[in-house]
Amino acid sequence: MVDLAAAYASCARDARRHYENFPVASWLLPRGMRPHVAAVYAFARAADDFADEGVLPVDDRHRLLDAWRSRLRSAITGSPATMPDAPRPGEPDNTQDIFLALGATIRGCQLPSGLFEDLLSAFRQDVTVTRYATWDHLFDYCRRSANPVGRIMLRIGGFSDRQFDEWSDALCTALQLTNFWQDLESDFGRGRIYLPLEEMARHGAEEQSLVEGRLTSGWELALAAAAGRTRTLYDAGRPLCDHVRGRLRYELRATWLGGTRILGRLESLRFGAIGQRPSLGAADVPWLIGAMTTWGIGAPGSRAEP
């Protein structure tokens, strides 16, 4: 007997275990959206883990991602009562739950399959691409790694407006970039630098300083320039938080405020604190509540105080 409710519950547990900057199925989301968002997140989280499994050879990681794509396509076309195959070596124990729930979500919410294919193409790129020459190259990666998440969220919420998509793309790219600057040290430990080489060269930011565990003034300048681009994207995406209806607008406002607050903390540290990863915690809750309460009254600025 297929237990769809249990499958969604399994995905929700995944979401709670791996909470990041992007609020996942939080209490601010409309209740009806939460199971669907959790299913999408569990799918993407597992694929991201495949790409980041550095102890596995490249071919093995590609194999896992290719199998995940095959499962995705079966989930999209299968009937709601079809149970996916048992987990294969390297896949999470709840693989069957993930694709049972995801398939029901994709069909029930009529989600475009191309958005999921884009996510998988970005994860596959992460396996072999460790540097980005230009901002255009990095933005293309964000178009596939971050922006589909926002568009999927909107469609689960019942929105498919082109202008909403454009605002969402700006916000999602800003969140992705913030995460890059936030995780500079850990990404470098996995062999990746997301800051474009053209920006590094412009300011004299050299990789050797990361090897030595320090950030030079050149790195500070390069990251400050990157933060400026990121802030512009937050500003471009902010209208989405005011135009969606219902509780989703509050989820988006919390996401926007959280992202800009972390960016503000990075700027206050001048990006020079190797070993520190600014994040949000319980101490930020009163600030977040206050900012949510006064949203639109004098329009909260992008610069979040640390």
Do residues 181 and 200 touch, judged by C-beta distance below 8 A?
Answer: no
Q: What token pair was written down for 86?
A: 């048992």
Matching fold, domains 1-128 and 129-306: yes
pLDDT, tens only, 42-83:
999 999 999 988 789 999 999 999 999 999 999 998 755 556
Do residues 89 and 52 touch, judged by C-beta distance below 8 A?
Answer: no
pLDDT, tens only, 147-171:
999 999 999 999 999 999 999 999 9
Burial of 287 (0-12, 13-18, 19+ CB in 10 A): middle
pLDDT band at 285, cuts 50/70/90? Answer: confident
pLDDT band at 301, cuts 50/70/90? Answer: very low
Do residues 154 and 218 touch, judged by C-beta distance below 8 A?
Answer: no
Q: Average pLDDT of the chain? A: 89
What ranges do the domains of the chain cover? 1-128, 129-306
Q: Which CATH number fits domain 129-306: 1.10.600.10, 2.60.120.890, 1.10.1740.10, 3.40.109.10?
A: 1.10.600.10
pLDDT band at 219, cuts 50/70/90? Answer: very high
The pTM (predicted TM-score) of the whole model is 0.90
Taking CA 144 as the corner, what is the angle to CA 30 and CA 29, rounded to the nearest 5 degrees?
10
Q: Please provide the distance, in angstroms rounded to a whole number, between the alpha carbons at the two ends of the chain.
A: 51
Fold for 1-128, please state it.
Answer: Farnesyl Diphosphate Synthase (1.10.600)
What pLDDT is attached to residue 17? 77
DSSP letters for 257-291: HHHHHHHHHHHHTTT--TT------GGGHHHHHHH
Residues 227, 260: Cα–Cα separation, whole Å: 10
Is the pLDDT assigned to residue 90 strictly greater than 80?
Answer: yes
